[in-house]
Chain A
Amino acid sequence: MTDSKYFTTTKKGEIFELKAELNSDKKEKKKEAVKKVIASMTVGKDVSALFPDVVNCMQTDNLELKKLVYLYLMNYAKSQPDMAIMAVNTFVKDCEDLNPLIRALAVRTMGCIRVDKITEYLCEPLRKCLKDEDPYVRKTAAVCVAKLHDINAQLVEDQGFLDTLKDLISDSNPMVVANAVAALSEIAESHPNSNLLDLNPQTINKLLTALNECTEWGQIFILDCLASYLPRDDRESQSICERVTPRLSHANSAVVLSAVKVLMKFMEMLPKDLDYYGTLLKKLAPPLVTLLSAEPELQYVALRNINLIVQKRPEILKHEMKVFFVKYNDPIYVKLEKLDIMIRLASQANIAQVLAELKEYATEVDVDFVRKAVRAIGRCAIKVEQSAERCVSTLLDLIQTKVNYVVQEAIVVIKDIFRKYPNKYESVIATLCENLDSLDEPEARAAMIWIVGEYAERIDNADELLESFLEGFHDESTQVQLQLLTAIVKLFLKKPTETQELVQQVLSLATQDSDNPDLRDRGYIYWRLLSTDPVAAKEVVLAEKPLISEETDLIEPTLLEELICHIGTLASVYHKPPSAFVEGSRGVQHKRLPPRAGSGESTESPDVGQSGPSEAPPAVIPSQGDLLGDLLNLDLAPPTATVPSVQPSMQMGAMDLLGGGLDSLVCSSPAMGAGLGAAPAAMPASLGSAPAVGGGLGDLFDLGGGVGMPTGSYVAPKTVWLLAMKAKGLEISGTFARRGGIIQMDLSLTNKAMSVMTDFAIQFNRNSFGLAPAGPLQVLTPLSPNQTIDVSLPLSTSGPVMKMEPLNNLQVAVKNNIDVFYFSCQYPLSLLFVEDGKMDRQVFLATWKDIPNDNEAQFQIKDIHLNSDVASNKLQGSNIFTIAKRTVEGQDMLYQSVKLTNGIWVLAEMRIQTGNPNYTWMCWRRPHVRECVSQNDSPVIS
């Protein structure tokens, strides 16, 4: 048989020929033709034109031909619904066939045809098939209910199929049970609160019985379903565990992982002092290790899951370090995952072995892997104090190899080691300095600069080294610039005599020549500190640094719990909750581990939101994958990166409102004189570069002072937008407000001319958030000389969008009977914060982790005498919602979410030092770890 020939027909009149062949009398020829059609369909050709001819072949005794026609139908019925109806009779007839295989085939195919008319005809045959005497037909019908539900959920409910499906859980045939469970689980997912599965001890018992008898796939369906059950007490939990553990010896890895999921979940309920608990822990290790001898793809899935399990219950695999050693021929994805787990399992007992391995890996070929191995060595040093010295010498050996990326990675981790063990390994600094020139990655450069600054007094030529970096200051990334600034200030404080010039140079570079607000602000702070009180500066800049934590890359506990409930699934592979990658209603339910029975250990899952100042949850710094990335991740991209990017495609074609109008403006306003070129950007230069978001928030806080502020959005006082002298006597001042969810522009129009003004109208240029007048400007009476009227103009956000610079700039044209006038104004960004901006906490957590570093930005807000609760209430008035609060080391941290009118979310972390209410630290989108705060910006905090 050489069916491959069907793939090579590319002639022109092909469809015609096929049509003729399909209508041939000869059975063989017909079959050949259908095969050709299917082959064409496979490679993506459109053969839908042959629909009637193919359907004509359906009435046949030849099962192979019939299956091919069905395959065609499933593909094209949706595009030809009217003709698909031609097939219904055959389907209905086949559902009555004597041969169970044909009955099942008909009901299986019919469910795949997503045409409303056909689904109506499907109900009766399906009902019969669900009660068919043959189990093969019943198991197929069970799945068909899920198919039908996907097309028309209401129909399934109305026809009572759900009840029939529930009955099938008690079916005598295990495969029917398994498919019914699968179908019900899927349907239940789209009805989160329906209690459709209605699991109770009786049904659980039935499932456990079927578990022993059905196919490997059926066992997976049943185990996954069991995992969603919540046992009533620890006894029931134990008895289920006992019946599930035999599955750990199944040859199918998916069965094993699903069993592990059930056990991990139900174990939560068992008291820890129970003997059985210990037995269970012991039983879990061997099957997990066995998974590593499966095919590489499965190893990958297993390793991603083991990573979670090791975080949740490190005791299970603590003696199994060796099995995670990397093999030379492992695919790279397996290698990287093994490495991750090795670091998690590293302890004093096995550190020697681990280090020897890591050193071996650092000489491999794959760059990512080598980098990770080098970082891992640093991690070991921080995690296991006894090994630090050996780690440092290993790292030095690696630096000697002079392999560029190895050197850079090593320097980054050595910096962390310095932080963890200050004043211990300074002898290596000389070696590090030798490699200064080869560093071309910002992170490595910043790390090196930090080291030089920190140990400036011991490096003779520290000033020369830093000066060499200073030459290309403007070409450096922000991270390096900030670090360089801090390092030079440190150097100056340590060796004031020789470095005065240098410090002045860097301060002027940072404050005058840079347009990065972070850098400028930091520069000014240092400048003022140094000029007013050098002693204080010393205390602040050279203050003790807080210790760095050793477990920075742990998954946040609540997320970890959820992921444990998803062992084996994609969520556990991505380490993200299903809601982060599944569309629609499916998977939005958040699963949680059951509370432990008995001894008061129910606080195992600290709820971030509820934890008061006394019981601080473990300070886990969320980060993704990156080993030490956040530990000292010093600085961030400029704040403009945070601001929602607004359809860049529309950037061109701007200025239609102002472009032409500008000329007339120039001509008609004698007062302006020469400097009119800058008219459209007629705003204070300083504002031009200030971050829009930060500015808006500053305003919110500027209210300051009073505590009992009414809740509600802050409204700035009116400012003059259009001067009378520029607009033939019309003066416009105004402000923006958000009242009850509606954005309003409050305008005061004053007539300073001699004649009456009428016929007012207003128009906006396209702007960043699509602001547009929701109605006409309501100035009904003519405006007589020296009269002022106040108007409120409701705005909508459905106008055309164009990115503005700054983002919150709004260009307005106002017309009256005299002329058209143009002005621009800026609206506070808080105007666009919508009322439903409160993000679900789980979603928040998940999203928080996904924010790339580049999107972070931070602002300082000064002189706020508010405690966190008041601040939080006040911000809520402006639709900045506090999702969670926690207190770490005397700092209140508020996690906040804001939603803009265009659907963009902004997440923020706000830090408030309770002891010292003068300053508040804001971080946007991503936490900026406290090391950073204290190290580089301690002037701000303390």
Chain B
Amino acid sequence: MIGGLFIYNHKGEVLISRVYRDDIGRNAVDAFRVNVIHARQQVRSPVTNIARTSFFHVKRSNIWLAAVTKQNVNAAMVFEFLYKMCDVMTAYFGKISEENIKNNFVLIYELLDEILDFGYPQNSETGALKTFITQQGIKGQPQTKEEQSQITSQVTGQIGWRREGIKYRRNELFLDVLESVNLLMSPQGQVLSAHVSGRVVMKSYLSGMPECKFGMNDKIVIDKQGKGGTTDEPGKSELGGSGKQSIAIDDCTFHQCVRLSKFDSERSISFIPPDGEYELMRYRTTKDIILPFRVIPLVREVGRTKLEVKVVIKSNFKPSLLAQKIEVRIPTPLNTSGVQVICMKGKAKYKASENAIVWKIKRMAGMKESQISAEIELLPTNDKKKWARPPISMNFEVPFAPSGLKVRYLKVFESKLNYSDHDVIKWVRYIGRSGIYETRC
């Protein structure tokens, strides 16, 4: 199991050091600094073995978090734990920075004592932790016995993510379907790989211990229902909706509140939600993805000192919808001396420090086309190495789900309190963003 946990600043100074196992000595702190943080070479692996001691590290801005062990630990668990640790810290004091860590070191030690016992991760749900680890120290006045046992039962209980007795005057929930669409396209316009990784994020403000059921246009579920019910009218459902009705989900993962065995057997998603904001599920699709933009690059080398670049982008969705925050990043060679750009729409600028032309368009409707052309002047170099031509990348935001996912329902049942599914106000929103959206040129 995890033998120790260290946090360093970018210089390699220790900010937090907590040792859980006897086999980890103080020299481990230095070993990591010398061999990884101060190493001249770029880090070649997130796991480093130094003198039979294994170091796992992750970096958040310029802060290093390192877990140390001498045993054959579950490596995936260690990394998951480090991420969780970052989440917990962020939930408590915001951004992970040297300043914040120094200011909260007592709190961090307290958290580390609670969420890692003898190197075994314990309950690390922020919701539960915040009930008894507070920045003000434990409440001044002694708690009542009921309060105490409520805390402990929540920390250890089956529903560790929600406490009892939550009350809202207005029961309300927000569902955000956030998708990031990833694309790798060849210069000839051939899709090399494309997938959507999506998340359903829920903000719930519901009283009591509500039982929820979430439904979406999952192909497997729809097909099953189709068979059971309206067998004689297969065409009918097509008429109502626009485009495809159901989508094939490659894989999905759920927040720990979702009853996985029920999903496995019936493919129904039922759960008691945590209070406030959390991520209900993640999913991945690869079939029938709507690619909101198509990038058509044209790069021509004119002699040794000049490049001509022309890039066309085409939007590919309903004309009534608007894409926002569009940014196209066209890489330029390292020996660029000057750039001249002409674009039909938006603003384009050559950013020498980033070695790229950045073209920004605020809004663009569907089924439109826009173009940029640039002349890049190059300094003559004797560098034999060819320019690697990094791909053209793109950022954007569209108000629909590129995977085609639709929320069909989210039902809320709370048997003890007298509010019903109809009383809950529900909001659903779809946002599609670019993930790694690249076209090679």
| Chain A interface residues (CB < 8 Å from chain B) | 1-4, 6-7, 35, 38-39, 42-44, 62-64, 67-68, 70-71, 75, 98-101, 104, 108, 111-112, 114, 134-137, 139-140, 143-144, 146-147, 150, 173-176, 179, 182, 186, 212-217, 220-221, 224, 243, 245-247, 249-254, 256-258, 286-287, 289-290, 293, 295-298, 300-302, 322-323, 325, 327-329, 332-333, 353, 356-357, 360, 363-365, 401-403, 566, 568-574, 578, 581-583, 586-587
Contacts and interface: CB of A to CB of B under 8 A. Distances in A.
26 contacts: A38-B106, A67-B110, A108-B117, A112-B118, A136-B155, A150-B22, A175-B157, A179-B117, A212-B260, A215-B124, A217-B81, A217-B123, A217-B124, A220-B74, A253-B79, A254-B76, A254-B77, A257-B76, A258-B74, A290-B250, A290-B284, A327-B438, A363-B386, A566-B72, A569-B74, A570-B75
Contacts of B259: 212
B232 interface: no
A99 B148 contact: yes
Contact of A252 (B47, B80, B113, B145): B80
Nearest to A571: B72
B189 to A, nearest CB: 14
A327 B72 contact: no
A300 B58 CA distance: 12
A221 B120 contact: yes
A403 B76 contact: no
Interface of B: 1, 13-17, 19-23, 26, 29, 42-47, 49, 52, 54, 56-58, 69-77, 79-83, 99, 102-106, 109-110, 113, 117-118, 120-125, 132, 135, 137-138, 142-143, 145, 148-149, 151-153, 155-158, 160, 184, 186, 192-193, 195, 197, 250-256, 259-261, 263-264, 279, 281-282, 284, 384-386, 388-391, 436, 438, 440
Contact of B253 (A67, A100, A249, A325): A249
B78 to A, nearest CB: 8
B256 A251 contact: yes
Contact of B261 (A111, A243, A328): A243
A114 B49 contact: no
A249 B252 contact: yes
B13 to A, nearest CB: 7
A1 B385 CA distance: 54
Nearest to B384: A402
A38 B87 CA distance: 24
A581 B192 contact: no
B75 A569 contact: yes
B72 A570 contact: yes
Contact of A212 (B102, B261, B391): B261
B120 A217 contact: yes
A681 B43 CA distance: 49
B253 A176 contact: no
Contacts of B22: 114, 150
Nearest to B45: A333
A548 to B, nearest CB: 29
Given A249-B253, A251-B255, A297-B58, A583 B52 contact: yes
Contacts of A250: 253-254, 256, 260
A569 B80 contact: no
Nearest to B76: A254
Question: Secondary structure at chain B's binding surface: helix, strand, loop or mixed?
Answer: mixed
A254 B284 contact: no
A63 B138 CA distance: 6
Given A38-B105, A100-B149, A573-B75, A44 B14 contact: yes
Given A108-B113, A246-B264, 13 more contacts: A7-B102, A67-B109, A101-B148, A136-B155, A179-B120, A214-B158, A249-B251, A252-B256, A327-B184, A328-B390, A402-B384, A570-B73, A581-B49
B389 to A, nearest CB: 7
A419 B355 CA distance: 44
Given A67-B110, A586-B71, A573 B58 contact: no
B391 to A, nearest CB: 6
B368 to A, nearest CB: 27
B260 A586 contact: no
B339 to A, nearest CB: 21
B117 A217 contact: no
Contacts of A67: 109-110, 113
B331 to A, nearest CB: 10
Nearest to B56: A297
A298 B105 contact: no
Contacts of B438: 327-328
A100 B113 contact: no
Given A38-B105, A174-B158, A570-B54, A587 B71 contact: yes
A44 B254 contact: no
Contact of A295 (B79, B252, B390): B79
A323 B122 CA distance: 34
Contacts of A289: 250-251, 284
- B110, B113, B282, most chain A CB atoms within 10 A: B113
Nearest to B104: A3
Given A62-B137, A570-B54, A570-B75, A300 B122 contact: no
A146 B281 CA distance: 35
B156 A300 contact: no
Contacts of B110: 64, 67
A557 to B, nearest CB: 21
A308 B109 CA distance: 38
B80 A245 contact: no
A749 B160 CA distance: 86
Contacts of B1: 182, 186
A162 to B, nearest CB: 17
B49 A134 contact: no
Contact of B279 (A136, A220, A251, A300): A251
A216 B256 contact: yes
A259 B171 CA distance: 37
Nearest to A147: B118
A155 to B, nearest CB: 16
Given A173-B157, A175-B123, A300-B46, A403 B385 contact: yes
A912 B422 CA distance: 83
B120 A4 contact: no
Contact of A182 (B69, B120, B261): B120
B71 to A, nearest CB: 6
A891 B227 CA distance: 63
Contacts of A39: 105
The residue in B132, B155, B251, B282 that gathers the most chain A C-beta atoms within 10 A of its C-beta is B251
B106 A403 contact: no
Contacts of A6: 102, 105
B283 to A, nearest CB: 9
Nearest to B260: A246
With most chain A CB atoms within 10 A of its CB, the pick from B49, B75, B197, B281 is B75
B253 A290 contact: yes
Contacts of B436: 327-329
B72 to A, nearest CB: 4
A323 B194 CA distance: 9
Given A67-B109, A186-B1, A572 B284 contact: no
Contacts of A401: 386
B45 A101 contact: no
B52 A581 contact: yes
B7 to A, nearest CB: 9
B284 A3 contact: no
A258 B57 CA distance: 21
Contacts of A1: 103-104, 135
Q: Which of A68, A71, A302, A328 counts the most chain B CB atoms within 10 A? A: A328
Given A173-B156, A333-B46, A246 B105 contact: no
A111 B119 CA distance: 13
A581 B55 CA distance: 13
Contacts of A257: 74, 76
A290 B43 CA distance: 25
Given A64-B138, A325-B193, A100 B152 contact: yes
A251 B13 contact: no
A570 B256 contact: no
